[in-house]
Amino acid sequence: MSRLRRVLAVCACALAFSCERKSEPPTGGIPPLPPSEQAKPAPPSLPEGHPTLPEGHPQLPQGHPPVDDNAIEGAMPGGEFDPHQVVSGALALAPSVKEHVQPGDVIFLTARADDGTEKGPIVAVKKLEAGAWPQAFELDGRDAMQGGTKFAGKIVLTARVDKDGDPISKNAGDVLGVLRLQVPAKSATLTLDTLTK
């Protein structure tokens, strides 16, 4: 037998021997889980006190701000509170538009920087619900659209009874009131007296 044949015969024997051995699980420790049962990363948790989301609803991403029922959709309230920078007072309803406002209607109270128009940057917002008139209100830095917004200086305060409850749309039948003032202000009266057409 040539040397090459001897080498091939030895390799064949070794291969046959290794194939006959049964593989046994390693001793000690916990065997690995099948792929279908392996741990998956937990979804981000909701803030404490947040209502439970319906089944199948996507979880909020990590770091998502808490949801505030009084916040306007798309807003991110979270400014700093300064007790010396507060606007408070009452919303009044003019008799000429009284029949166009019902209890439970949504009211959007918006403060804009007074740049000489009524279209300045929004500095604070609050969602209210129509009830008894006059209706008390308070607005401060905690109602800011985003953190870091300073609630101070001259502002244009607008109250709008929004019949469809959508802060973006402005429809015929909404009732408006506008007041210019300086922050801080107490006992301010904002009269809703204009019916949009």
The predicted model gives 50-76 an average pLDDT of 51
Bigger pLDDT: 130 vs 75: 130
What's the CA angle centered on 27, arms 13 and 32, to 5 degrees? 100
Which 3 state secondary structure label does DSSP give 5? helix
Judged against a pLDDT cut of 60, whether residue 118 lies above it is answered with yes
The first and second tokens of residue 175, run together, are 């009732």
**Confidence band, pLDDT 50/70/90 cuts, at residue 18:** low
**pLDDT number for residue 47:** 60
**pLDDT number for residue 165:** 87
**Confidence band, pLDDT 50/70/90 cuts, at residue 161:** very high
* 72 in any annotated domain: no
* 82 in any annotated domain: no
The predicted model gives 32-52 an average pLDDT of 59
- Residues 6+ away with beta carbon under 8 Å from 92: 133, 134, 177, 189, 190, 191, 192
DSSP state of 51: P
* 30 in any annotated domain: no
What's at 45, amino acid-wise?
A: S
Q: How far apart are CA 134 and CA 131, in angstroms?
A: 9
* 40 in any annotated domain: no
**Confidence band, pLDDT 50/70/90 cuts, at residue 77:** very low
The predicted model gives 105-113 an average pLDDT of 96
CATH number at residue 125: 2.60.40
User: How much is the pTM?
Assistant: 0.60
Domain extent, residue 182, equals 87-195
* 130 in any annotated domain: yes
Judged against a pLDDT cut of 60, whether residue 92 lies above it is answered with yes
**Confidence band, pLDDT 50/70/90 cuts, at residue 170:** confident
* 168 in any annotated domain: yes
How far CA 138 is from CA of 28, 124, 188, 190, in Å, comes to: 67, 11, 10, 12
Bigger pLDDT: 154 vs 58: 154
Output the furthest CA–CA distance in the chain (Å, rounded).
Answer: 119
Please provide residue 57's backbone torsions phi and psi, each rounded to the nearest 5 degrees: -75, 135
* 9 in any annotated domain: no
* 102 in any annotated domain: yes
- The number of domains in the chain is 1
DSSP state of 48: T
**pLDDT number for residue 72:** 45
Least confident window among 36-40, 74-78, 109-113? 74-78
Percent over 70 (pLDDT), the chain: 60
The predicted model gives 143-149 an average pLDDT of 83
